Structure 1
Amino acid sequence: MTADARAAHEALAAVRLPMDVTADGGKLAFTVSSGEGQVVHVLDAAGRPRSLPGTDHALLRWIPGTGRLIAAAESRVEELDPETGEILWSEPFDGSVEDFSVTSDGRVLARVADPGSDRDGMHLGLRVPASEDPFVDVPGARLRRLVLARAGEPGSKAVPLGPLTVWEADWLGGETALAVVSADSAPSGYYKPELAVVDVRDGSTRTLLTTPWQLARPRISPDGTRAVVVEGLSIVSGRVLHVDLGSGEVTRWDAVDDVTDLGWLDADTLWFTGWSGTGVQGGVLRADGTLLHRWTASGALGGKDGQPSLAPCGPGWVAAVWESPEQPPEVAFGSLTTGGFATFTDFNTGPAALAEGVVREELSWEAPDGRTIEGLVIRPHGEGPFPLVVLAHGGPTWLWAQWFAPAESNQMALPLALAGAAVLLPNPRGSSGRGQEHARAVIGRFGEADLEDVLAGADKLIADGVADPERQAVAGLSYGGYLTAWAVARTRRFRAAVVMSGVPDWVSFRTASVIGGGYDVVYHRGADPATPEGREFLAARSPVFHAADVRTPTLILHGERDRVTPLGEAERLYQAFAAAGVPTRLVTYPREGHELIEPEHCADARDRILDWLTRHGVLA
């Protein structure tokens, strides 16, 4: 059955992923991943998607009301002919374009990461390419900047923000922009944000809000008097804050939680979307925070950083990337007030057949302290018990959702089920989808309550006769890699483990990781490794200091250039486990960051995972 798993993994690698959906009235454009990159597609007059040959762009935006299309391509912003794909205007930048806003008169405000800065905030774990030799780092020298340009005209002008780095921004074309900024230019600064009004003429700022949590999706109202922003934890899914830009008064809207994106429909109403359990939600809010419409759906919506997003495209209608357990990702239309997404592209009809080979179920169980925990199970058809593979997600404020094939952990969830395993995808406390109390319940208790939640889910499957207690494995990436290493340090129930891009040592994490001093301060409730008390607290929860207790054979997979969980952390875990006599192996992937992206490396990791679980008696 591992042959079926390998074939499924190859099919998933060939999935063409739509992204960057943008709409302007009846005009719609999006990109689709392929071997050539992100190819731009537009809807033709008959409503059929048509590719623009020669394009390799992302972050599409229509110039409002004009039919003109702007797109980013790594270090430049360009205007594309929406009929032919011809480049009509191109403006280069010194760095990587991460986002931009465009106004009806063609003015562009781009957010550009300097060469040598850490790409995409924290999610890829790689640097923006830099040509320096030698490469010299200086605190505060490599920023995320705001740069002004105008479509059709040469030249650009940086907004002089001094030492501030910009994580997100919104601009409607006036004198001011709304931005999430920090004084710390490293990705750790993302965890110490301020919401500020920025004068794009001289770079002066006025702080509106500081918070111990994280901020995302700042949005200015059409009349420029108010704004909203999402406040959450880490990979942001949270509550909406309303800000009066004149008085600075901040109001939290409690009508909805786990919001991941939103925007103004007009001066009086906003659309929103986000997570709901293992599914998604969306709807309409009044400008006073009153909920007008809310729908939920068993599926997932694509968007920035993998978070749900929508593109309003007409009265009451939205476009989005939609997928479900039976449907690979496609572009779809839906109702803003009722959901009901119907796909209109067919890029992935072949891989859709993979859904027929497995059974998918939602699962809930009770944690030892009585909290209800939820998750998903993907398993073979027929009667159990099956081998059990527990996949722990990253974050920890992330989740397993109703995707066609969960992408995290090298897209192994569906292939492992086709290899004969029952795959448990638990959403323990710390996860998104259940509100801020559930997400924050892991703070100061990482590796304690969340591990108990995960193990209780495995016990539930064993008690129900779905899983074989003698053939259990655990695996995960990033924080899921930590939880995997921690699980084998705290229990001997697993026959095999796979740690991907994990964190074995929270003491060294503070200074080794580019998010150290931000991420860990939030989740570790301020435990400081510079103090004896802090070191004791962190070491007590670090797998590398408990290697003598480990007996589970552990495969460690890691990217050579990962700056979120650096390779040195994996090497420390490997050395500690090897010295303790644990059967272990460290596989280092050149050029890779926090997640594997090169097809040959993804296939190699797949084969090693399947072989490891087979060799150690989990898979047949």
Structure 2
Amino acid sequence: MPGGSSVSTGSGSAAAGLRAHAALAALRVPEAVALHPDGTRAACVLPSSGAGPLAHVLDLARGDAVPVPEVPGRWHALTRWLPDGRLLLASGDGDLLDHVEVRAGDGLAPVWRVRVAGEIEDLVADADDTVLVRLADPGSERDGSHLGLRVADAADPFVRTPGGRLRRLALARIGDPAPRTVPTPGLTVWEADWRDGLALAVTSVDETPAGYYRPRLDLLDPATGESRTLMTTSWQLSRPRLAPGGRTAVVVEGLSIVSGRVVHLDLESGAVTWLTAVDDVTDLGWLDEHTLWFTGWSGTGTHGGTMTAEGRVLSRWTAWGTLGGRDGQPSLSPDRTGTLAAAVWETAGQPPEIALATLTEGDWRQVTALNGDLARLAVRQEEVTWTGPGGLAVQGLLLTSGEARGPRPLVVVAHGGPTWLWSSAFAPAESNQLALPLAHAGAAVLLPNPRGSSGRGQDYARGVVGHVGEEDLGDVLAGTDHLVAAGIADPGRMAVLGLSYGGYLSAWAVTRTRRFRAAVVMSGVADWLSFATASNLAGGYDPLYHRGADVTTPEGREFLAARSPVCHAAAVTTPTLILHGAEDRTTPAGQADQLYRAWSAAGVRTQLVVYPREGHELTEPGHRHDAAGRVLAWLTENGVL
């Protein structure tokens, strides 16, 4: 392994965990699943052994996935279908995903290809052979906090000026030699929809991901450049959708836009109505001008169904498992009739595959077998409930493997966000996909969803606003108490780890309690003061979650310092492993340096590992394997495993 690790794959529980982690590297998870308008085929993107992922088309009657005819050196990241059944692709032949392609016929022969000036982030097709392209300028911050990296830019030196590197819209008419820019002066565009000559866009003045926390919803006329702001909000907006006929629209409003409530907008009167019958929606669309489909999170599972434009629920299903999609959130691709939907579906016992369901029933059945040989890695998974501070019921997932012989070592894995969640999945992906390997290593693995998490409605998600590290940490610690009292966890062999906000909560936990024998902080926040000026979320994320605490005032600095682990290093005795990507711009690598220096100065046993070329999450296989080995070794050396 790069850099070396003290874990050997030859023996011991840690070795079993490392073997499981290595096996998970073979997972082939479909991305960008798109159901053909007639419901007979589905397109997706799959990993390849070449330069990058490649588009495939699945015949749903035969069940085989055939790669789109390959052009040497070309790779794909998005698949869509045009209304007439031709395949629409985003492709690249270098560092940028910067070409729009159309393929047609049984052989999916190339019909048209055009380059855009930036990296494609989305394609939205309309019936008139015009595609709305959402693209990011080279050197801009990647969409949201996606990997915490910049879009590739070969400029040397790199020069940045306010408003100079935006997310833009362009119209590409199939057959034309070049796209046409949609004027959005001074704005960056985070999401957009396109119908009947109009665009509906989530925008912000701030071009960094911090701007996503201060959004507005604009209606744009690409022909004239005219725009109209329909709404602004102190929360976040996602999935703007124009209704057929152009008289109404919907958008999802939530916290950090993991999931939220549906907002209905009358484009003629300007009336804005919150449709509160469903919550935790992550994706939606129009079946006709009066009817919507939706999907999203529900507890540790997913839900979906149909509703009227006025918010009356027509059908609603729930399922225990995870629907994959854009940004790791539940997402569906319906057929033209609104009968069938396609998605990526996984359960605790079945790895992710392309699946079909009736839109109103959610009766998911997997139709591919890309990962069938990995089902042997499945572990026991159950939803557990306990009582948090103030008597609030808190839920999470418990993963175990093999027969219990008394209390087990316990590893608590805190999720990011904080407005994210753990949902029932074959191999929960966050924190370097360590949950399943840790169970194979003999640990009981608790994946808690404390207040601040999604899946329980907006009030639950907003319960952490202004209180980071307070009730949410209390909920997590109450979960460990519950498992100890139930005889599942050994109180002398417990560890805590997490990534991003989960990394912060792990570092914060060991300043508050000595119950853990080891901690692992991955891409975590160590100092809210420096975060407030260095992160690419600074000025958006932190004022929201810290209820406006201002780093430029003494009161604001005092508030932020009081919640920063580095300011409480003297209370720490727990050995702590720190893992971080060198290029992370969401929680910059300086956060890891600060934590390492503070812990070291306090005499805490610690180690800092920085991975070159990596952002907020590790992506290179060698780095992922190395990090897994180091975590398992750390927990073994410190008496947890």
Cα distance change of structure 1 residues 72 and 249 upon mapping to structure 2, 3 Å threshold: farther
What is the CA-CA distance between 1:341 and the residue it aligns to? 0.4
Structure 2 counterpart of 1:63: 82
Structure 2 counterpart of 1:25: 38
Residues in 1 aligned to 2:204 and 2:358: alpha-carbon distance in whole angstroms: 37
Residues in 2 aligned to 1:546 and 1:335: alpha-carbon distance in whole angstroms: 53
Residues in 1 aligned to 2:606 and 2:109: alpha-carbon distance in whole angstroms: 53
Structure 1 counterpart of 2:23: 11
Residues in 2 aligned to 1:158 and 1:576: alpha-carbon distance in whole angstroms: 49
Cα distance change of structure 1 residues 45 and 387 upon mapping to structure 2, 3 Å threshold: closer
Structure 2 counterpart of 1:362: 383
What is the CA-CA distance between 1:45 and the residue it aligns to? 7.8
Which secondary structure state, in structure 2, belongs to the residue aligned with residue 437 of structure 1? helix
Cα distance change of structure 1 residues 195 and 315 upon mapping to structure 2, 3 Å threshold: closer
The one-letter code matched in structure 2 to 1:61 is R
Which secondary structure state, in structure 2, belongs to the residue aligned with residue 270 of structure 1? strand
What is the CA-CA distance between 1:350 and the residue it aligns to? 1.1
**For the aligned residues, what is the CA RMSD?**
1.3
What is the CA-CA distance between 1:41 and the residue it aligns to? 1.6
Equivalent pair of 1:124/1:595 in contact (CA under 8 Å): yes
What is the CA-CA distance between 1:6 and the residue it aligns to? 1.4
Residues in 2 aligned to 1:31 and 1:523: alpha-carbon distance in whole angstroms: 35
How big is each residue's C-alpha offset from its partner over 1:460-515, in whole Å with a ceiling of 9 and x where there is no partner? 00000000000010000000000000001111111100000000111111111010
Cα distance change of structure 1 residues 53 and 350 upon mapping to structure 2, 3 Å threshold: farther
Residues in 1 aligned to 2:601 and 2:33: alpha-carbon distance in whole angstroms: 51
Between 4-13 and 471-480, report the one with greater CA deviation: 4-13
What is the CA-CA distance between 1:150 and the residue it aligns to? 1.3
Which secondary structure state, in structure 2, belongs to the residue aligned with residue 610 of structure 1? helix
Cα distance change of structure 1 residues 72 and 233 upon mapping to structure 2, 3 Å threshold: farther
| Shift >4 Å, 4+ stretches | none
The one-letter code matched in structure 1 to 2:381 is R
The one-letter code matched in structure 1 to 2:463 is A
Equivalent pair of 2:319/2:362 in contact (CA under 8 Å): yes
Residues in 2 aligned to 1:75 and 1:151: alpha-carbon distance in whole angstroms: 16
Structure 2 counterpart of 1:293: 315
Which structure 2 residues correspond to residues 90-489 of structure 1 after superposition, within 5 A?
A: 90-174=113-197, 176-313=198-335, 314-355=337-378, 358-383=379-404, 384-489=406-511
What is the TM-score with the length of structure 2 in the denominator? 0.94
The one-letter code matched in structure 1 to 2:571 is D
Structure 1 counterpart of 2:98: 75
Equivalent pair of 1:399/1:431 in contact (CA under 8 Å): yes
Equivalent pair of 2:53/2:75 in contact (CA under 8 Å): yes
Cα distance change of structure 1 residues 113 and 539 upon mapping to structure 2, 3 Å threshold: same
Residues in 2 aligned to 1:326 and 1:82: alpha-carbon distance in whole angstroms: 38
Which structure 2 residues correspond to residues 538-577 of structure 1 after superposition, within 5 A?
A: 538-577=560-599
Aligned residues: 616
Structure 1 counterpart of 2:58: 43
Which structure has more relative contact order (CA 8 Å, sep 6+)? It is 2
Equivalent pair of 2:454/2:461 in contact (CA under 8 Å): yes
Residues in 2 aligned to 1:232 and 1:315: alpha-carbon distance in whole angstroms: 26
Residues in 2 aligned to 1:452 and 1:139: alpha-carbon distance in whole angstroms: 41
Which secondary structure state, in structure 1, belongs to the residue aligned with residue 147 of structure 2? coil
How big is each residue's C-alpha offset from its partner over 1:52-71, in whole Å with a ceiling of 9 and x where there is no partner? 24262122111102434343
Residues in 2 aligned to 1:460 and 1:51: alpha-carbon distance in whole angstroms: 49
Cα distance change of structure 1 residues 496 and 68 upon mapping to structure 2, 3 Å threshold: closer
Cα distance change of structure 1 residues 412 and 161 upon mapping to structure 2, 3 Å threshold: same
What is the CA-CA distance between 1:72 and the residue it aligns to? 4.2
What is the CA-CA distance between 1:111 and the residue it aligns to? 0.7
Residues in 1 aligned to 2:285 and 2:121: alpha-carbon distance in whole angstroms: 19
Equivalent pair of 2:45/2:53 in contact (CA under 8 Å): yes
Residues in 2 aligned to 1:38 and 1:301: alpha-carbon distance in whole angstroms: 21
The one-letter code matched in structure 1 to 2:535 is S
Residues in 2 aligned to 1:421 and 1:85: alpha-carbon distance in whole angstroms: 49
The one-letter code matched in structure 1 to 2:66 is R
How big is each residue's C-alpha offset from its partner over 1:273-307, in whole Å with a ceiling of 9 and x where there is no partner? 00000000000001111000000000010110000
Residues in 1 aligned to 2:119 and 2:478: alpha-carbon distance in whole angstroms: 44
Between 154-163 and 437-446, report the one with greater CA deviation: 154-163
What is the CA-CA distance between 1:337 and the residue it aligns to? 1.3
Between 37-46 and 504-513, report the one with greater CA deviation: 37-46
What is the CA-CA distance between 1:82 and the residue it aligns to? 5.8
Percent of residue pairs bearing the same amino acid type: 60
The one-letter code matched in structure 1 to 2:75 is D
Between 474-483 and 116-125, report the one with greater CA deviation: 116-125
Equivalent pair of 1:16/1:34 in contact (CA under 8 Å): no
The one-letter code matched in structure 2 to 1:328 is P
Which structure 2 residues correspond to residues 505-524 of structure 1 after superposition, within 5 A?
A: 505-524=527-546
Between 178-187 and 61-70, report the one with greater CA deviation: 61-70
Gaps of 5+ in 2: 1-12
Cα distance change of structure 1 residues 82 and 352 upon mapping to structure 2, 3 Å threshold: farther
What is the CA-CA distance between 1:162 and the residue it aligns to? 1.1
Residues in 2 aligned to 1:288 and 1:469: alpha-carbon distance in whole angstroms: 52
What is the CA-CA distance between 1:34 and the residue it aligns to? 3.1
What is the CA-CA distance between 1:80 and the residue it aligns to? 2.6
Which structure 2 residues correspond to residues 529-544 of structure 1 after superposition, within 5 A?
A: 529-544=551-566
How big is each residue's C-alpha offset from its partner over 1:128-182, in whole Å with a ceiling of 9 and x where there is no partner? 11121111111111000001111222111111211100000000141x2100000
How big is each residue's C-alpha offset from its partner over 1:322-365, in whole Å with a ceiling of 9 and x where there is no partner? 1000111001111111111011100001111111xx32111000
What is the CA-CA distance between 1:44 and the residue it aligns to? 3.3
Structure 2 counterpart of 1:616: 638
Equivalent pair of 2:252/2:260 in contact (CA under 8 Å): yes
Residues in 2 aligned to 1:43 and 1:585: alpha-carbon distance in whole angstroms: 47
How big is each residue's C-alpha offset from its partner over 1:425-459, in whole Å with a ceiling of 9 and x where there is no partner? 00000000000000000000100000000000011
Cα distance change of structure 1 residues 72 and 198 upon mapping to structure 2, 3 Å threshold: farther
Residues in 1 aligned to 2:91 and 2:258: alpha-carbon distance in whole angstroms: 24
Equivalent pair of 2:78/2:90 in contact (CA under 8 Å): yes
What is the CA-CA distance between 1:106 and the residue it aligns to? 1.8
